[in-house]
Structure 1
């Protein structure tokens, strides 16, 4: 089997270059959880780079064959989950951490589906579609991270709240990156939202559109806050070090969404960043919150988007074209099966 120490070292180097915010939060975990988080991150980063033709999230290449990229990541993922080594660090890292923590393969499938949606140029039509997409690209990762932190795979409510945190993170990312996504030919704002405000995707970044666009950014911020609040309930159930790390990340990403909303029409003049002093402030606040006694009452998730709990089939090496939602021109809503796992992979 692949040498664990080598995989961990390479995964650590990947996160050091690929994500300052996640690297900062990961330092708060105990050593075992921290290393496992690095291993999982390396796979997520590799899949994202394959899908977008990037290197550690930068220097995107034009003309990427999305279908081929998805097929490759599915095949390598299936191989390592079957116990094979593929000689590709991020995928071998996933195989290792999946074995160590018994990560349900359904979460891995769900995350891969997010890359498939992007590769097909899919667009959300409704808020439900938006939240479904956020689950695939980030909420499923939240579920995997919860398992790494010791959450039982049958603890549905805590896993749902872990998914909520990923959804909150992704809503913050979408708000921050509207301009960058537009430049790359993408838009994650629901068609129904754009229609309500008289906006069209092509002219989204025009000066005349900025005031209405700022209203939508504030809407994303408010939506992210609801899911963040739910996630904080789940964080109370984690060991102290994990609770501290999760609450720190929640504070940092929440600050991104709030800052985008605060800047209004100027939010996309330059990329919103949370500096080191502010990150430290959020980490101190999270440490204090993590040390408080857990509340006895469970706050219901009434009205929140919820993943469908399903069986955990073996991940196949590829998926046929009819297992994915239609492409961009029709801007379809995701069907219930496609949204929650159905027959898509």
Structure 2
């Protein structure tokens, strides 16, 4: 199936094909639900999505690599080297790093603004030193680079039926919504890495601080104040999903099933967290397998129907229009963490 995707996308160079295969493997291994949604795209669009995911995942892995408490200079050096490789790849279309080679090729084929990749790298560098955010506004500033730009990168790949600038705010919002879902699910894991993505003022409004979160995780005991704060963060996230939802109809019809499936499954994280009693400090909430299968089947039916009914489209990839693409920290948008 990989060769079929690469052939359909017109990718013939052996080195490029190997780079795209590498990115696809990263997607299949780490972004299971995201990868499932990607399978609903027409075959010729999948390699570009894999390249965008692969690069974001690679950078995110560097930020979280070498173990908790590792020398931050080691991670910073690796991230700096990736940044240099990125600039070289975007400038010359060449790189010894597979994820950069595929990304640079995708950016060139689809006319993706290079500033989006630089903003993403800035957010990754912030994760090396910033361990929390005082306000939601501060958090949104970080998420511009870590999540919103991922949605914006997807715009030329997925195609739309409206001008790209009209769809862009919805694409950015859905990228943020995905990442907020991951933040809620991963509160405990992020805390172990020394980070708290829930805004400090939101926590303080319920009498919660980092020390109380640490106590709850270490003791395994639930705390009503923490649950109340998590519920508020969930409500905030649902509001972002609502603001992003109108953009789904702006997509090229053949891309809608992919994004709709991702939209439903990432939103399902919120349902899983609530169903598990907001125990995210103690265990990871999981979207039930049966639920994922049902959504995937629905997406497949929609994808087949869209392709059977597809005629000439104004929103083809590369056209001056864009989708409402759907985010840890680091997303179909992705944020480089699996949903399950």
Q: Which ranges of 4 or more aligned residues in structure 1 deviate by more than 4 Å?
A: 151-154, 284-292
Deviation at 1:152, TM superposition (A): 9.3
Is 1:133 the counterpart of 2:142? The answer is yes
Q: Deviations over 1:177-214 (max 9, x none)?
A: 11111111111111111221111212214347732222
* TM-score (normalizing by structure 1): 0.76
> In structure 2, what is the equivalent of residue 24 of structure 1?
36
> In structure 1, what is the equivalent of residue 55 of structure 2?
43
Q: 1:240 to 1:136 in 2, by over 3 A?
A: same
Deviation at 1:31, TM superposition (A): 0.9
> In structure 1, what is the equivalent of residue 170 of structure 2?
161
1:53 paired residue among 65, 76, 81: 65
Q: Deviations over 1:137-181 (max 9, x none)?
A: 111101111221125996223111011111111111111111111
Deviation at 1:117, TM superposition (A): 1.2
> In structure 2, what is the equivalent of residue 200 of structure 1?
209
Deviation at 1:229, TM superposition (A): 2.2
Secondary structure at 1:271's aligned position in 2? coil
> In structure 2, what is the equivalent of residue 210 of structure 1?
223
Judge conservation of contact 1:12–1:38 (CA < 8 Å) in 2: yes
Is 1:190 the counterpart of 2:211? The answer is no
1:9 paired residue among 21, 28, 40: 21
Judge conservation of contact 1:110–1:140 (CA < 8 Å) in 2: yes
* Farther-moved stretch of structure 1 (261-270 vs 99-108): 261-270
Judge conservation of contact 2:42–2:254 (CA < 8 Å) in 1: yes
> In structure 1, what is the equivalent of residue 77 of structure 2?
68
Judge conservation of contact 1:52–1:64 (CA < 8 Å) in 2: no
Q: 1:289 to 1:125 in 2, by over 3 A?
A: farther
- Root-mean-square deviation over aligned CA pairs: 2.6
For structure 1, the 5+ residue unaligned runs are: 293-345
Judge conservation of contact 1:81–1:95 (CA < 8 Å) in 2: yes
Which structure 2 residues correspond to residues 77-226 of structure 1 after superposition, within 5 A?
77-151=86-160, 155-207=164-216, 210-226=223-239
For structure 2, the 5+ residue unaligned runs are: 1-12, 307-340
* Farther-moved stretch of structure 1 (267-276 vs 114-123): 267-276
Q: Tell me, in whole angstroms, the C-alpha distance in 2 between the residues paired with 1:36 and 1:150.
A: 12
Judge conservation of contact 1:203–1:209 (CA < 8 Å) in 2: no
Judge conservation of contact 2:257–2:299 (CA < 8 Å) in 1: yes
Deviation at 1:24, TM superposition (A): 0.8
Secondary structure at 1:268's aligned position in 2? coil
* Farther-moved stretch of structure 1 (258-267 vs 126-135): 258-267
Q: Deviations over 1:205-226 (max 9, x none)?
A: 4347732222222222222222
> In structure 1, what is the equivalent of residue 247 of structure 2?
234
Judge conservation of contact 1:52–1:61 (CA < 8 Å) in 2: no
Secondary structure at 1:86's aligned position in 2? coil
Q: Deviations over 1:202-253 (max 9, x none)?
A: 2214347732222222222222222222322112111223111101001111
Deviation at 1:76, TM superposition (A): 1.0
Judge conservation of contact 1:224–1:254 (CA < 8 Å) in 2: no
Work out which structure has the larger RCO, using CA pairs closer than 8 Å and 6 or more positions apart in sequence: 2
> In structure 1, what is the equivalent of residue 336 of structure 2?
none
* TM-score (normalizing by structure 2): 0.77
Judge conservation of contact 2:76–2:128 (CA < 8 Å) in 1: yes
> In structure 1, what is the equivalent of residue 317 of structure 2?
none
Which structure 2 residues correspond to residues 238-249 of structure 1 after superposition, within 5 A?
238-249=251-262
Deviation at 1:273, TM superposition (A): 1.4
Q: Tell me, in whole angstroms, the C-alpha distance in 2 between the residues paired with 1:187 and 1:99.
A: 36
Q: Deviations over 1:24-80 (max 9, x none)?
A: 1110011121111001111111111122226xxxx6682242432332222111111
Q: How many residue pairs align between the two structures?
A: 289
* Farther-moved stretch of structure 1 (258-267 vs 98-107): 258-267
